[in-house]
């Protein structure tokens, strides 16, 4: 097995080899034997052994107090789900006590969304989520492969490799969609209902934090119970065990500010950045209705500042762009940076404003032309990965791409959404708004949250490293989706849907109170 070090080249890699030894053989015996062989034959490679990664029958699992607390929490949640479902189905109850009913929440999953104007977002979210999962599959499989040289030298130039390494664009897709929904939803609802700053923030946090918190608990307390392989114990030691020390930064959504963060839920950096951007939203949204020009100008200045940051930090740190150029500094200063992804989010905010207030009409030919330009731009942004990997490093070139590639992607996608939402999308809108996407889109957040844990589970029970190939990656991708989907559905039914119902319940009560005050 091979794990990346400071950089993604051969020098930054460390190897792990598993061997079988008799039960009577101790750690000291192995170190003495290998030390003698190294000195006698002058082998430049040093072998060290880690006893905590040894696997044998009836090996005890370390259970601490936090694990016991986690088990109690899950038992309590299970009791609540069963009781609420029984109350809903057999007692025909109503009100807040049925919000955790599996039966009622399952009907929500299958229900067609009422806001047909933005149904195209369903397909975009599902496709983007699957793209991210495919990219993570290739990356994680690449660090546990027998043929690493093929992965580093040949596979990345294949269309499948280019596609996998371009999955970072999907992250900016979600940032852009997040900004659009925040802007469109607030501007639409605030016409009839005033919203306080606390209510604005609570609406977001109540949806994200329960699911995030539970998944963190699952991967730290439960995953160890179902892993019994050499890779699994290595992953638990490298990633999951460190979650015990870093959980506050995950719950409070600040761990994207941490250097060299290691935990089995590193992909939750997206949640941190999304919530940090959401904290900025009132600065623009609370005033854009009364002072649209000033607010849009302020958004433009912020946009340029964020692009300038990406360009400047690339110059200062000599950073790359593609996955194979990534380093710890790239992850800290760009990949996990909220500022780096801020332009995509601002594009979404502006698109939501246009959809709500501007009645823009396009000629049919102009709309078709702009759609073609958008799709071609996105294809070129993906294929340019090849030229960036083949050419020599040029800091000016990479600075331009780090500053403009993601905003260009988000702008192209924003126009596609705008065209579909205004009735000009045609067959594109019909495809993206399909009922299947409508159902699966409700599970994309939970799918994103749980999929890395599922891969750790699959890889953690493997007895040998995989042979890296396109076929093997597709098999792992299908296996990961098959494992992740039912767990994502369970997470949605148990956490996301109930807290969403609670939010809507109190929102409805607040609306009735406001209407009563107006009538009086």
User: What confidence tens digit (pLDDT) does each residue in 313-334 have?
Assistant: 999 988 887 777 777 788 888 8
Closest CA to 461 of 234, 237, 220: 234
The residue with greater pLDDT, 64 or 131, is 131
Look at residue 239 in the predicted model and tell me its pLDDT: 62
> So what's the pLDDT on residue 180?
94
Whether residue 314 lies inside any domain: the answer is yes
Res 7 pLDDT > 50 = no
167, pLDDT greater than 50: yes
Is position 102 within any domain?
Answer: no
Q: How confident is the model at residue 10 (pLDDT cuts 50, 70, 90)?
A: very low
Cβ(454)–Cβ(477) below 8 Å: no
**Average pLDDT value for residue range 401-421:** 94
Q: Is residue 141 part of a domain?
A: no
Which of 9-13, 53-57, 157-161 is the most confident on average?
A: 157-161
Report the sign of the C-alpha dihedral through residues 56, 58, 64, 69, in that order.
positive
Residue scoring higher pLDDT (510 or 235): 235
Compute the residue count for the chain: 520
Max Cα distance, the chain (Å): 95
| Domain final position from 11, 28, 49 | 49
Structural domain contains residue 91: no
Contact 229, 55 (CB under 8 A): yes
Number of domains the chain contains: 2
Ranges 356-365, 368-377, 420-429: which has the least confidence: 356-365
Whether residue 299 is found in the same domain as residue 426: yes
* Domain's final residue, options 433, 460, 476: 433
Phi, psi of 343 (to 5 degrees): -55, -40
- One domain, residues 176 and 308: yes
**Average pLDDT value over all residues in the chain:** 82
State pLDDT tens for residues 246-277.
667 766 777 777 766 566 567 778 888 898 99
Mark whether 174 and 314 lie in a shared domain: yes
Query: If residue 182 lies in a helix (H) or strand (E), which one and from where to where?
Result: helix 168-189
Distance CA 323, CA 332 (A): 14
Q: Decide if 378 is inside a domain.
A: yes
- Classify residue 354: in a domain, yes or no: yes
456 confidence band (pLDDT: 50, 70, 90) = confident
pLDDT computed for residue 123 by the predictor: 95
Confidence class of residue 127 from pLDDT cuts 50, 70 and 90?
very high
Q: Domain boundary at 433, 454, 471, which?
A: 433
Asked, for residue 492, whether it belongs to a domain, the answer is no
Instruction: Write out the residue range of the structural domain in which residue 9 sits.
Output: 2-49
| 266 inside domain | no
Helix (H) or strand (E) holding 2: strand 2-4
User: What is the pLDDT, as a whole number, of residue 149?
Assistant: 74
Q: Tokens 């051969």 correspond to what residue?
A: 10
For residues 38 and 170, state if they share a domain: no
pLDDT tens digits, 83-107: 989 888 888 767 777 888 888 888 8
Can you tell me the distance from the alpha carbon of 333 to that of 266, in angstroms, rounded to the nearest whole number?
Answer: 15
pLDDT tens across 461-495, in order?
Answer: 777 777 888 888 888 899 889 989 998 998 888 88
Write down the H helix ranges in 190-291: 197-217, 230-235, 243-251, 269-288
pLDDT at 8: 44
For residue 121, what is the enclosing H or E element? helix 120-142
Distance separating alpha carbons of residues 512 and 453, to the nearest angstrom: 42
The strand pairing partners of 14, in sequence order, are 3
């Amino acid at each position: 097995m091979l794990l990346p070090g400071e950089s993604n080249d051969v020098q930054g890699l460390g190897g792990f080899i598993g061997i079988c030894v008799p039960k009577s053989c101790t750690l000291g015996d192995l170190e003495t034997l290998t030390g003698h062989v190294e000195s006698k034959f002058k082998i430049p490679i040093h072998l060290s052994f880690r006893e905590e990664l040894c696997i044998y029958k009836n090996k005890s699992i370390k259970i601490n107090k936090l694990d016991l607390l986690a088990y109690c929490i899950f038992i309590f949640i299970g009791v609540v789900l069963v009781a609420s479902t029984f109350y809903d189905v057999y007692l025909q109850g109503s009100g807040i006590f049925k919000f955790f009913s599996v039966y009622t929440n399952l009907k929500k999953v299958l229900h067609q969304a009422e806001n047909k104007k933005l149904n195209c977002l369903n397909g975009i979210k599902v496709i983007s989520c699957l793209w991210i999962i495919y990219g993570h599959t290739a990356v994680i499989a690449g660090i546990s492969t027998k043929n690493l040289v093929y992965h580093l030298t040949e596979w990345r130039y294949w269309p499948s490799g280019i596609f996998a390494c371009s999955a970072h664009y999907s992250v900016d897709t979600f940032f852009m969609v997040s900004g659009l929904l925040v802007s469109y939803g607030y501007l639409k609802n605030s016409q009839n209902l005033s919203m306080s700053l606390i209510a604005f923030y609570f609406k977001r946090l109540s949806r994200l934090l329960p699911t995030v918190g539970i998944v963190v608990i699952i991967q730290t307390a439960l995953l160890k119970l179902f892993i019994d392989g050499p890779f699994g114990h290595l992953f638990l030691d490298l990633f999951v065990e460190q979650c015990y020390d870093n959980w506050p930064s995950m719950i409070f959504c600040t761990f994207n500010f941490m250097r060299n963060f290691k935990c089995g839920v590193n992909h939750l950096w997206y949640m941190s950045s999304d919530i940090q951007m959401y904290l900025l939203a009132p600065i623009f949204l609370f005033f854009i209705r009364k002072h649209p020009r000033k607010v849009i100008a302020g958004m433009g200045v912020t946009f340029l500042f964020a692009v300038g940051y990406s360009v400047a930090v690339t110059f200062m740190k000599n950073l790359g762009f593609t996955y194979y150029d990534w380093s710890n500094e790239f992850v800290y200063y760009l990949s996990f940076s909220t500022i780096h992804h801020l332009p995509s989010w601002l594009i979404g905010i502006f698109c939501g404003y246009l959809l709500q207030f501007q009645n823009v009409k396009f000629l049919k030919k102009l709309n078709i032309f702009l759609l073609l330009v958008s799709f071609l731009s996105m294809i070129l942004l993906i294929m340019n990965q090849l030229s960036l990997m083949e050419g020599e490093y040029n800091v000016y070139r990479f600075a331009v791409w780090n500053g403009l590639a993601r905003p260009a992607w988000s702008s192209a996608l924003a126009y596609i959404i705008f065209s579909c939402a205004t009735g000009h999308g045609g067959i594109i809108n019909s495809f993206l708004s399909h009922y299947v996407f409508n159902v699966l889109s409700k599970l994309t957040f939970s799918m994103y949250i749980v999929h890395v844990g599922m891969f750790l589970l699959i890889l953690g029970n493997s007895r040998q490293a995989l042979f890296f190939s396109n076929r093997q990656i597709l098999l792992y991708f299908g296996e990961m989706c098959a494992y992740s989907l039912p767990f994502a559905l369970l997470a949605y039914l148990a956490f996301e849907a109930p807290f969403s119902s609670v939010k809507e319940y109190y929102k409805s009560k607040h609306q009735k109170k406001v209407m009563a005050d107006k009538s009086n």
